[in-house]
């Protein structure tokens, strides 16, 4: 069976975790936490990077920093993971869902302005599959209406928009290192702060509402409870695991991109014949090969293809369900928006196996099976 995902180990993870254990500093913000944060700040020119226990927690920190109050509105794409919305819901926000683009699952930046009201506070562009949203348009409308932008870059490590690293453009950004991502630590995340207004408070929120980080740097002679916050700081062993991955970032990315290209070349003829749609990469975006997906012509076709692949030893999976059609949203909101492109991706998008150790011959098996499936359907 060819799995959908297999976490890749560089070989140094356990070694660094062992080192972390024997430093006697396990609770976080030790040597490896600082190494990871410095890597992101130097490699991608993020103003401030803070390791978090998950991307969800990083988004929750962002929602606190945005000073979300009950009744504030936050614009979020409906085709995304629930955390993109939930982090703001927990602060009392009303979520306003936006549709996807017609040719890719990202938020349609041209439709954002029509959703803005006097209560709008934040826009949350989600870089689906690591492919950049149209950030110039997002930032222009945010500046026009004095809104904050939180990039959900969960899938977007080492991807760029017009030469700028994703996560460096919005006021804040969040990344994921879940085991399904390019760079992993099992569970884990990162909050990026690009606006200096939020740096000091971010550290306080990160440290359970205390100014403990300032105390450890010798900036205050004692620390105490000064703000809201929570236990967002991951253990040192999580950062140690992640650092082994970061040391091999280029190697991991090169292999994933090679896999992505083999899929694309192998399946392009099916797109040319109108059977499927393959990922669309706008000119302004790079490809970090987070995933490879195809878009089927109907829900029935996707369901049948998933079964066909599974019956032949290949695990493929669909992705998000439309959040605006979720039970929670319907129970708490009276008006359900019509978002046809979002719903199309929810019904028709199919993700193929994608992981570092996927062999060339396994990629060929997947491609050949999909080819056979569509030949059998005429």
Please check whether residue 96 is in contact with residue 90, taking contact to mean a CB–CB distance below 8 angstroms.
no
- Whether residues 233 and 269 share a domain: the answer is no
Please check whether residue 80 is in contact with residue 152, taking contact to mean a CB–CB distance below 8 angstroms.
yes
pLDDT of residue 327: 96
Pairing of strands 189-193, 48-52: antiparallel
- Whether residues 207 and 266 share a domain: the answer is no
The domain spanning residue 323 has which CATH number? 3.90.1150.10
pLDDT of residue 352: 98
- Whether residues 242 and 309 share a domain: the answer is no
Please check whether residue 36 is in contact with residue 239, taking contact to mean a CB–CB distance below 8 angstroms.
yes
> In the listed set 246, 261, 287, which residue is the last one of a domain according to the structure?
246
- Whether residues 115 and 225 share a domain: the answer is yes
- Whether residues 196 and 171 share a domain: the answer is yes
- Whether residues 319 and 178 share a domain: the answer is no
Spans in the chain with pLDDT lower than 50: none
pLDDT of residue 203: 95
- Whether residues 233 and 277 share a domain: the answer is no
Q: What is the three-class DSSP state of 76?
A: strand
Domain limits for position 313: 249-376
Spell out the SS3 assignment of 103-167. Answer: CCCCECHHHCHHHCCCCEEEECCECHHHCCCCHHHHHHHHHHCCCEEEEECCCCCCCEECCEECC
pLDDT of residue 300: 98
Q: In angstroms, rounded to a whole number, what is the distance separating the alpha carbons of residues 220 and 226?
A: 13
pLDDT of residue 219: 83
Beta-bridged to residue 94, according to DSSP, are 73
Pairing of strands 148-152, 120-123: parallel
Structure-token pair, residue 162: 């017009």
| Torsion angle, alpha carbons of 316, 79, 256, 136, to 10 | 160
- Whether residues 144 and 200 share a domain: the answer is yes
Domain count, the chain: 2
Picking from 132, 76, 64, the residue whose alpha carbon sits closest to that of residue 320 is 76
Catalytic positions, written as ranges: 181
147, part of any domain: yes
Structure-token pair, residue 212: 């403990």
> In the listed set 219, 246, 273, which residue is the last one of a domain according to the structure?
246
pLDDT of residue 217: 80
Q: In angstroms, rounded to a whole number, what is the distance separating the alpha carbons of residues 176 and 154?
A: 4
> In the listed set 246, 269, 300, which residue is the last one of a domain according to the structure?
246
pLDDT of residue 218: 79
pLDDT of residue 258: 98
pTM of the model: 0.96
Phi first, then psi: what are they for 25, rounded to 5°? Answer: -120, 95
């Amino acid at each position: 069976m060819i799995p959908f995902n297999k976490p890749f180990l560089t070989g140094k993870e356990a070694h660094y975790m062992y080192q972390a254990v024997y430093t006697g500093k396990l609770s976080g913000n030790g040597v490896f936490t600082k190494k990871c944060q410095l890597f992101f700040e130097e490699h991608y020119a993020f103003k401030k990077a803070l390791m978090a226990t998950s991307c969800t927690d990083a988004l929750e920190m962002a929602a606190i920093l945005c000073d979300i109050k009950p009744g504030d509105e936050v614009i979020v794409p409906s085709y995304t993971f629930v955390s993109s919305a939930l982090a703001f819901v927990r602060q009392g926000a009303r979520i306003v869902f936006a549709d996807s683009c017609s040719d890719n699952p990202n938020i349609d930046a041209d439709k954002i302005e029509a959703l803005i009201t006097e209560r709008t506070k934040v826009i949350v562009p989600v870089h689906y599959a690591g492919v950049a949203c149209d950030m110039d348009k997002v930032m222009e409308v945010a500046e026009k209406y004095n809104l904050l932008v939180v990039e959900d870059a969960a899938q977007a490590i080492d991807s760029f928009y017009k030469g700028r690293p994703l996560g460096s453009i919005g006021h804040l950004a969040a990344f994921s290192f879940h085991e399904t991502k390019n760079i992993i630590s099992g569970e884990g995340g990162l909050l990026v702060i690009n606006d200096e207004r939020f740096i000091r408070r971010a550290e306080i929120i990160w440290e359970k509402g205390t100014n403990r980080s300032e105390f450890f740097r010798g900036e205050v002679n004692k620390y105490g409870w000064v703000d809201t916050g929570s236990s967002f700081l991951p253990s040192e062993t999580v950062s140690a695991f992640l650092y082994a991955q970061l040391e091999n970032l280029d190697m991991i990315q090169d292999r994933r991109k090679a896999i992505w290209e083999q899929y694309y070349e192998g399946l392009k003829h099916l797109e040319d014949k109108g059977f499927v749609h393959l990922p669309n990469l706008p000119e302004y975006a790079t490809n970090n090969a987070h995933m490879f997906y195809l878009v089927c012509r109907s829900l029935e076709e996707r369901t049948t293809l998933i079964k066909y692949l599974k019956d032949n030893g290949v695990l493929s999976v669909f992705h998000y369900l439309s959040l605006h059609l979720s039970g929670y949203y319907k129970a708490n909101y009276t008006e359900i928006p019509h978002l046809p492109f979002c719903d199309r991706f929810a019904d028709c998008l199919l993700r193929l196996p994608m992981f570092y150790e996927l062999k060339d011959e396994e990629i060929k098996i997947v491609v050949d099976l999909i080819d056979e499936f569509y030949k059998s359907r005429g």
